[in-house]
Amino acid sequence: MAVDTTETLKTIAEKSGMYIGTCANLQAIENDAAYVANITRHFNLVTPENALKFRVLCPERGEYNFEAVDKLVAFTAAHNMQFRGHVLVWNDQLPHWLLNGNFSRNELASILVNHIETVVGRYAGKIPVWDVVNESVDELGHFKKTFWYNTLGPAYIEMAFEAAHRADPAARLFYNDYGVEGTYEHENGVYRLLQSLTYHHIPVHGVGYQMHLSLEHTDRKIIGSLNTQRLADMGLECNITELDVRMRTGEGRFPQQYEAQAALYADIARNYILEKGCNTLILWGFTDRYSWIPFFYPGEGAATIMTEQYTPKPAFFSLLEELKKKI
């Protein structure tokens, strides 16, 4: 079958007003022309994989290094892409000065608020959407005992959204989490959190579902199960924010599994884009060349829609086909 070369993920997504995105690193953009050709061809949204993480941005207290983010913001602006800010408040990738600082409640609250005001304020008008708080609820629906929670309690979540809103009143602010589709309790915990934030008029505009899926562990039946309607009823948007589908990469295991992977990518697009009306779908990388999976899940990989050589896999085409149905 001849491949229509004018069709890209981006051109199809834009016909229905959608954002199709990927995380990215400046290093690949600066050193890999094929990477740039593909990212600009297929995506109209980019989020930094690590450049906005607290430890990367502020390794020493009070010393921010904005260079990589500035360059990424300029890159997206030059290519008409939306820049999504990821992530302001998380338990991971925190700087050592913060982790080892033994800060009091008041000190930590002011560090949190200052960080958010500094970062969001700098990019006000340039970064229209933020993942403000990441991974606060566990699979039983309880607040995770994170670095921030242990000193500030659940109030850190409200503080974070309010600070982000003060710093850029026009920005759209998201709560982001992984594995929410995994248990009913997790989903309910996230729902209760958003219900409480909304009830207290905390500025929050949506929920991001990461969707780091695995051929081995993800039950296809649960993928479309999230009840986004009850969030929509509270005026909240839903986005898919970090989709990838990993597989075991041992001898003889892949690429035989590419078809099964393609089915999962299509499931997500069908359920969340077509049926539940999400308008933003972000992949956690689009080429196996730079995917985080082999480092974090030894023995697994091949999680993205293109090979290391940028050859589109069946998942690329299945995703494209689903996006077309939205037009």
| Enzyme catalytic residues | 135, 242
Say how many CA atoms lie within 13 Å of 11 toward its Cβ: 7
Q: Which is nearer to ligand XIL, 249 or 291 (CB)?
A: 291
Interatomic CA distance for residues 18 and 318, integer angstroms: 17
Q: Please name every residue paired with 207 in a beta bridge, in sequence order, or none if there are none.
A: 175, 238
Q: Binding of ligand XIL at residue 292 (CB under 6 A)? A: yes
CB of 292 vs ligand XIL, minimal distance in Å = 3
**# binding residues, ligand XIL (CB under 6 A):** 8
**For the chain, counts of helices (H) and of strands (E):** 14, 10
Q: Binding of ligand XIL at residue 304 (CB under 6 A)? A: no
Q: Which is nearer to ligand XIL, 207 or 320 (CB)?
A: 207
DSSP string spanning 146-196? -HHHHHHTTHHHHHHHHHHHHH-TT-EEEEEESSTTT-HHHHHHHHHHHHH
Amino acid in the structure at residue 117: E
For residue 145, how far is the Cα from the chain centroid? 22
- Per-residue string for binding with ligand XIL, 180-219, x by CB under 6 A? ------------------------------x---------
**DSSP character at residue 15:** H
- Per-residue string for binding with ligand XIL, 215-254, x by CB under 6 A? ---------------------------x------------
Dihedral, CA atoms, 183, 184, 186, 190, nearest 10 degrees? 150
CB of 273 vs ligand XIL, minimal distance in Å = 20
Q: Which is nearer to ligand XIL, 89 or 194 (CB)?
A: 89
Tell me whether strands 172-177 and 129-134 are parallel, antiparallel or unpaired.
parallel
Q: Which is nearer to ligand XIL, 12 or 240 (CB)?
A: 240
Q: Binding of ligand XIL at residue 316 (CB under 6 A)? A: no
CB of 222 vs ligand XIL, minimal distance in Å = 19
Could you say which of 48, 49, 204, 240 contacts ligand XIL (CB under 6 A)?
49
Q: Which residues, 6 or more positions from 104, have their beta carbon under 8 angstroms from its beta carbon?
A: 151
Near ligand XIL in 117-156, by CB under 6 A = 134
Q: Which is nearer to ligand XIL, 143 or 290 (CB)?
A: 290
Near ligand XIL in 82-111, by CB under 6 A = 87
Q: Which is nearer to ligand XIL, 56 or 232 (CB)?
A: 56
- Distance set, CA 124 to CA 98, 152, 203, 214, 319 (Å): 25, 26, 16, 36, 32
> Which among 215, 327, 211 has a CA at the least distance from the CA of 272?
211
Near ligand XIL in 18-47, by CB under 6 A = none
Q: Binding residues for ligand XIL, per CB under 6 A?
A: 49-50, 87, 134, 178, 210, 242, 292
